[in-house]
Protein backbone atom coordinates (compact mmCIF):
# COMPACT_ATOMS: atom_id res chain seq x y z
CA UNK A 1 0.00 0.00 0.00
CA UNK A 2 0.97 3.61 -0.62
CA UNK A 3 -0.43 5.61 2.29
CA UNK A 4 -0.79 9.37 2.63
CA UNK A 5 -1.73 11.48 5.64
CA UNK A 6 -3.74 14.53 4.65
CA UNK A 7 -5.83 17.31 6.13
CA UNK A 8 -9.47 18.20 5.49
CA UNK A 9 -11.69 20.80 7.13
CA UNK A 10 -12.74 18.26 9.75
CA UNK A 11 -9.17 17.24 10.65
CA UNK A 12 -6.70 14.53 9.63
CA UNK A 13 -7.50 11.73 7.19
CA UNK A 14 -5.70 8.67 5.85
CA UNK A 15 -5.64 7.94 2.15
CA UNK A 16 -4.51 4.99 0.09
CA UNK A 17 -2.97 6.16 -3.19
CA UNK A 18 -3.88 4.13 -6.27
CA UNK A 19 -3.35 4.63 -10.00
CA UNK A 20 -6.80 6.25 -10.15
CA UNK A 21 -6.51 8.61 -7.18
CA UNK A 22 -6.75 8.68 -3.40
CA UNK A 23 -9.12 6.44 -1.47
CA UNK A 24 -10.24 8.29 1.68
CA UNK A 25 -10.68 5.63 4.35
CA UNK A 26 -13.22 7.77 6.18
CA UNK A 27 -15.46 7.64 3.09
CA UNK A 28 -15.31 3.85 3.12
CA UNK A 29 -16.07 3.60 6.83
CA UNK A 30 -16.78 6.65 9.05
CA UNK A 31 -15.24 4.74 11.96
CA UNK A 32 -11.95 4.21 10.10
CA UNK A 33 -8.78 5.52 11.74
CA UNK A 34 -7.80 9.03 10.66
CA UNK A 35 -4.34 9.49 12.15
CA UNK A 36 -1.61 7.67 10.20
CA UNK A 37 0.89 8.41 12.97
CA UNK A 38 -1.34 6.60 15.47
CA UNK A 39 -2.00 3.71 13.08
CA UNK A 40 1.74 3.09 12.70
CA UNK A 41 2.41 3.37 16.41
CA UNK A 42 -0.44 1.02 17.37
CA UNK A 43 0.16 -1.55 14.66
CA UNK A 44 -3.14 -1.09 12.81
CA UNK A 45 -1.88 -1.29 9.23
CA UNK A 46 -3.71 -4.59 8.74
CA UNK A 47 -6.94 -2.75 9.52
CA UNK A 48 -6.31 -0.40 6.59
CA UNK A 49 -5.73 -3.33 4.26
CA UNK A 50 -9.06 -4.82 5.37
CA UNK A 51 -10.87 -1.54 4.68
CA UNK A 52 -9.43 -1.39 1.18
CA UNK A 53 -11.18 -4.64 0.31
CA UNK A 54 -14.46 -2.69 0.61
CA UNK A 55 -13.29 0.15 -1.62
CA UNK A 56 -13.29 -1.61 -4.97
CA UNK A 57 -12.46 0.92 -7.70
CA UNK A 58 -13.77 3.86 -5.66
CA UNK A 59 -11.62 7.00 -5.25
CA UNK A 60 -12.41 10.31 -3.58
CA UNK A 61 -9.55 12.77 -4.25
CA UNK A 62 -6.70 13.45 -6.61
CA UNK A 63 -3.28 13.79 -5.01
CA UNK A 64 -2.86 17.36 -6.27
CA UNK A 65 -6.06 18.46 -4.53
CA UNK A 66 -5.21 17.48 -0.96
CA UNK A 67 -2.99 19.04 1.73
CA UNK A 68 -0.44 16.35 2.50
CA UNK A 69 0.85 15.86 6.05
CA UNK A 70 3.87 14.07 7.44
CA UNK A 71 3.65 10.26 7.26
CA UNK A 72 4.67 10.23 10.93
CA UNK A 73 3.76 13.54 12.54
CA UNK A 74 5.41 12.88 15.90
CA UNK A 75 8.36 10.49 15.54
CA UNK A 76 9.93 9.54 18.84
CA UNK A 77 13.44 9.31 17.41
CA UNK A 78 14.93 10.35 14.07
CA UNK A 79 18.25 8.56 13.56
CA UNK A 80 20.28 9.54 10.50
CA UNK A 81 23.31 8.05 8.78
CA UNK A 82 26.14 10.19 7.53
CA UNK A 83 28.70 9.11 4.94
CA UNK A 84 26.74 6.06 3.82
CA UNK A 85 27.46 6.20 0.06
CA UNK A 86 31.11 5.77 -0.98
CA UNK A 87 30.84 8.38 -3.74
CA UNK A 88 29.60 10.89 -1.15
CA UNK A 89 32.49 10.02 1.18
CA UNK A 90 34.90 10.67 -1.69
CA UNK A 91 33.62 14.21 -2.29
CA UNK A 92 34.20 15.34 1.31
CA UNK A 93 36.97 15.61 3.91
CA UNK A 94 36.16 12.34 5.70
CA UNK A 95 37.33 8.75 5.25
CA UNK A 96 35.11 5.70 4.98
CA UNK A 97 33.77 4.91 8.44
CA UNK A 98 34.19 1.42 9.95
CA UNK A 99 30.73 1.68 11.53
CA UNK A 100 27.56 3.58 10.61
CA UNK A 101 27.94 7.27 11.48
CA UNK A 102 24.76 8.03 13.42
CA UNK A 103 23.37 11.45 14.31
CA UNK A 104 19.91 12.60 15.36
CA UNK A 105 17.35 15.07 14.08
CA UNK A 106 14.46 16.63 15.98
CA UNK A 107 10.80 16.55 14.98
CA UNK A 108 10.77 20.38 14.76
CA UNK A 109 13.12 20.11 11.77
CA UNK A 110 10.54 18.18 9.71
CA UNK A 111 8.57 19.60 6.78
CA UNK A 112 5.65 17.96 4.95
CA UNK A 113 5.57 17.57 1.17
CA UNK A 114 4.82 20.77 -0.79
CA UNK A 115 5.42 22.94 2.28
CA UNK A 116 8.33 25.42 2.28
CA UNK A 117 11.77 24.61 3.57
CA UNK A 118 12.87 27.65 5.58
CA UNK A 119 16.24 29.01 4.51
CA UNK A 120 17.63 30.47 7.75
CA UNK A 121 18.57 34.12 7.95
CA UNK A 122 21.85 33.36 9.76
CA UNK A 123 23.47 31.38 6.93
CA UNK A 124 23.39 30.98 3.15
CA UNK A 125 24.74 27.42 3.24
CA UNK A 126 21.48 25.42 3.04
CA UNK A 127 22.19 22.15 1.25
CA UNK A 128 20.05 19.25 -0.07
CA UNK A 129 20.49 15.51 0.58
CA UNK A 130 18.25 12.88 -1.06
CA UNK A 131 17.72 9.99 1.35
CA UNK A 132 15.63 6.88 1.95
CA UNK A 133 13.56 6.95 5.15
CA UNK A 134 12.81 3.73 7.03
CA UNK A 135 9.69 3.91 9.24
CA UNK A 136 9.75 1.55 12.21
CA UNK A 137 6.54 -0.34 13.00
CA UNK A 138 7.49 -2.52 15.99
CA UNK A 139 9.40 -2.11 19.22
CA UNK A 140 12.70 -3.87 18.75
CA UNK A 141 16.08 -4.37 20.40
CA UNK A 142 19.05 -6.53 19.37
CA UNK A 143 17.72 -7.23 15.91
CA UNK A 144 19.41 -9.86 13.75
CA UNK A 145 19.85 -10.17 10.01
CA UNK A 146 17.00 -12.69 10.04
CA UNK A 147 14.37 -10.52 11.76
CA UNK A 148 15.39 -6.91 11.09
CA UNK A 149 12.96 -6.43 8.21
CA UNK A 150 10.05 -7.49 10.44
CA UNK A 151 10.46 -4.19 12.32
CA UNK A 152 9.74 -2.01 9.26
CA UNK A 153 6.29 -0.50 8.70
CA UNK A 154 7.29 1.20 5.46
CA UNK A 155 9.58 3.48 3.50
CA UNK A 156 9.43 7.12 2.44
CA UNK A 157 11.52 9.92 0.93
CA UNK A 158 13.59 12.33 3.00
CA UNK A 159 15.61 15.46 2.29
CA UNK A 160 18.24 15.84 5.00
CA UNK A 161 18.48 19.61 4.59
CA UNK A 162 21.77 20.75 6.12
CA UNK A 163 23.07 24.18 7.06
CA UNK A 164 26.70 23.35 6.34
CA UNK A 165 28.23 26.36 8.09
CA UNK A 166 26.64 25.34 11.40
CA UNK A 167 27.25 21.64 10.77
CA UNK A 168 30.99 22.33 10.80
CA UNK A 169 31.11 24.51 13.90
CA UNK A 170 32.08 21.40 15.88
CA UNK A 171 32.86 17.73 15.26
CA UNK A 172 29.19 17.03 16.10
CA UNK A 173 26.75 17.76 13.26
CA UNK A 174 23.63 18.40 15.35
CA UNK A 175 23.29 22.17 14.92
CA UNK A 176 23.55 22.12 11.14
CA UNK A 177 21.12 19.23 10.84
CA UNK A 178 18.32 20.58 13.02
CA UNK A 179 17.29 24.03 11.86
CA UNK A 180 13.51 24.35 12.03
CA UNK A 181 11.66 23.17 8.93
CA UNK A 182 14.70 22.03 6.94
CA UNK A 183 13.97 18.26 6.79
CA UNK A 184 11.26 17.38 4.26
CA UNK A 185 9.69 13.94 4.75
CA UNK A 186 7.06 12.18 2.63
CA UNK A 187 4.80 12.42 0.74
CA UNK A 188 3.86 8.74 1.14
CA UNK A 189 4.63 5.75 3.28
CA UNK A 190 5.00 2.68 1.06
CA UNK A 191 4.67 -0.70 2.76
CA UNK A 192 7.53 -3.18 2.29
CA UNK A 193 5.50 -5.58 0.14
CA UNK A 194 5.45 -2.95 -2.64
CA UNK A 195 9.26 -2.76 -2.90
CA UNK A 196 12.28 -5.02 -3.29
CA UNK A 197 13.59 -6.66 -0.14
CA UNK A 198 15.12 -4.02 2.16
CA UNK A 199 14.39 -1.39 -0.53
CA UNK A 200 17.56 -2.33 -2.43
CA UNK A 201 18.30 -1.28 -5.99
CA UNK A 202 15.94 1.69 -6.09
CA UNK A 203 16.91 4.75 -8.12
CA UNK A 204 17.30 7.81 -5.88
CA UNK A 205 17.60 11.35 -7.23
CA UNK A 206 17.55 15.00 -6.20
CA UNK A 207 16.55 17.78 -8.58
CA UNK A 208 17.03 21.47 -7.89
CA UNK A 209 14.94 23.74 -10.12
CA UNK A 210 14.53 20.84 -12.53
CA UNK A 211 18.25 20.04 -12.79
CA UNK A 212 19.35 16.61 -11.59
CA UNK A 213 22.02 17.16 -8.95
CA UNK A 214 22.12 13.71 -7.33
CA UNK A 215 21.51 10.32 -8.96
CA UNK A 216 22.32 6.89 -7.56
CA UNK A 217 20.69 3.67 -6.37
CA UNK A 218 20.03 2.41 -2.87
CA UNK A 219 22.23 -0.65 -3.40
CA UNK A 220 25.22 1.71 -3.32
CA UNK A 221 24.88 2.18 0.45
CA UNK A 222 27.91 1.19 2.48
CA UNK A 223 25.68 0.08 5.36
CA UNK A 224 22.35 -1.16 3.95
CA UNK A 225 19.04 -1.21 5.78
CA UNK A 226 19.36 -4.58 7.53
CA UNK A 227 22.93 -4.02 8.73
CA UNK A 228 22.02 -0.53 9.95
CA UNK A 229 19.02 -1.69 11.99
CA UNK A 230 21.05 -4.50 13.54
CA UNK A 231 23.77 -2.02 14.52
CA UNK A 232 21.43 0.65 15.93
CA UNK A 233 19.49 -1.83 18.09
CA UNK A 234 22.65 -3.04 19.79
CA UNK A 235 22.32 0.22 21.74
CA UNK A 236 18.85 1.68 21.22
CA UNK A 237 15.37 0.29 21.47
CA UNK A 238 13.57 1.33 18.30
CA UNK A 239 9.88 2.04 18.75
CA UNK A 240 6.91 2.29 16.36
CA UNK A 241 7.02 5.64 14.56
CA UNK A 242 10.79 6.07 14.86
CA UNK A 243 12.61 7.01 11.66
CA UNK A 244 15.95 5.79 10.34
CA UNK A 245 17.30 8.00 7.53
CA UNK A 246 19.75 6.14 5.33
CA UNK A 247 22.27 8.70 4.06
CA UNK A 248 22.82 10.50 0.77
CA UNK A 249 24.77 9.87 -2.46
CA UNK A 250 27.22 12.27 -4.08
CA UNK A 251 26.33 15.56 -5.74
CA UNK A 252 25.57 17.65 -2.66
CA UNK A 253 25.87 21.40 -3.00
CA UNK A 254 28.85 21.95 -0.69
CA UNK A 255 31.06 19.70 -2.81
CA UNK A 256 30.44 21.66 -6.02
CA UNK A 257 32.68 24.40 -7.33
CA UNK A 258 31.29 26.92 -6.79
CA UNK A 259 29.01 25.56 -4.02
CA UNK A 260 25.33 25.22 -4.91
CA UNK A 261 23.14 26.34 -2.03
CA UNK A 262 19.34 26.27 -1.87
CA UNK A 263 17.82 29.75 -1.71
CA UNK A 264 14.52 31.59 -1.60
CA UNK A 265 12.36 30.75 -4.63
CA UNK A 266 14.06 27.42 -5.47
CA UNK A 267 12.20 24.12 -5.82
CA UNK A 268 13.84 20.92 -4.63
CA UNK A 269 12.56 17.43 -5.45
CA UNK A 270 13.61 14.06 -4.04
CA UNK A 271 12.48 11.06 -6.08
CA UNK A 272 12.90 7.42 -5.07
CA UNK A 273 11.79 4.71 -7.47
CA UNK A 274 8.62 2.98 -6.31
CA UNK A 275 8.04 5.47 -3.48
CA UNK A 276 7.31 8.87 -5.02
CA UNK A 277 8.43 12.46 -5.41
CA UNK A 278 8.95 14.73 -2.40
CA UNK A 279 8.81 18.34 -3.62
CA UNK A 280 9.34 21.50 -1.56
CA UNK A 281 9.81 25.17 -2.34
CA UNK A 282 12.48 27.17 -0.49
CA UNK A 283 11.39 30.25 1.45
CA UNK A 284 13.64 32.76 3.20
CA UNK A 285 13.15 33.03 6.95
198: enclosing H helix or E strand: none
Residues 202 and 35: their CA atoms lie apart, in Å, by 28
Residues 107 and 92: their CA atoms lie apart, in Å, by 27
Residues 34 and 101 in one domain: no
Query: Does the predicted model carry a pTM greater than 0.85?
Result: yes
Q: What is the 8-class DSSP label of residue 142? A: S
Residues 55 and 83 in one domain: no
CA-wise closest residue to 115 among 4, 279, 277, 285:
279
Count the domains in the chain. Answer: 2
Identify whether 38 is part of a domain.
yes
Cα maximum dimension of the chain = 55
Residues 223 and 243: their CA atoms lie apart, in Å, by 16
Pairing state between β 243-245 and 78-82:
parallel
CB 112 within 8 A of CB 184: yes
Q: How many CB atoms lie within 10 A of CB 106?
A: 15
Residues 211 and 254 in one domain: yes
- The CATH number assigned to the domain holding 121 equals 3.90.850.10
Tens-level pLDDT at each residue, the chain (285 residues): 999 999 999 999 999 999 999 999 999 999 999 999 999 999 999 999 888 888 888 899 999 999 999 999 999 999 999 999 988 887 877 777 899 999 999 999 999 999 999 999 999 999 999 999 999 999 999 999 999 999 999 999 999 999 999 999 998 899 999 999 999 999 999 999 999 999 999 999 999 999 999 999 999 999 999 999 999 999 999 999 999 999 999 999 999 999 999 999 999 999 999 999 999 999 999
Cis bond before residue 258 (omega within 30° of 0): yes
Residues 30 and 118 in one domain: no
Residues ≥6 apart with Cβ < 8 Å to 253: 127, 128, 164, 213, 259, 260, 261, 262
Identify whether 73 is part of a domain.
no
Identify whether 225 is part of a domain.
yes
Residues 113 and 152 in one domain: yes
φ and ψ of 166, to 5 deg: -75, -30
Residues 172 and 229 in one domain: yes
Range of the domain at 166: 78-284
Residues 195 and 85 in one domain: yes
Amino acid sequence: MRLVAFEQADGPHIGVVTDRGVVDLSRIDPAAPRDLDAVIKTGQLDQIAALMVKAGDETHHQIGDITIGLPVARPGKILCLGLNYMDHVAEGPFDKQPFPAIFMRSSTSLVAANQPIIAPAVSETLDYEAELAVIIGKECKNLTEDNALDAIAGYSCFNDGSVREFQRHTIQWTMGKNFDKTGPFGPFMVTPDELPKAATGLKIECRLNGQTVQSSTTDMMIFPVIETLVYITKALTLEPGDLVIMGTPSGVGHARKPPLWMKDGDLVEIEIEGIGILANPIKAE
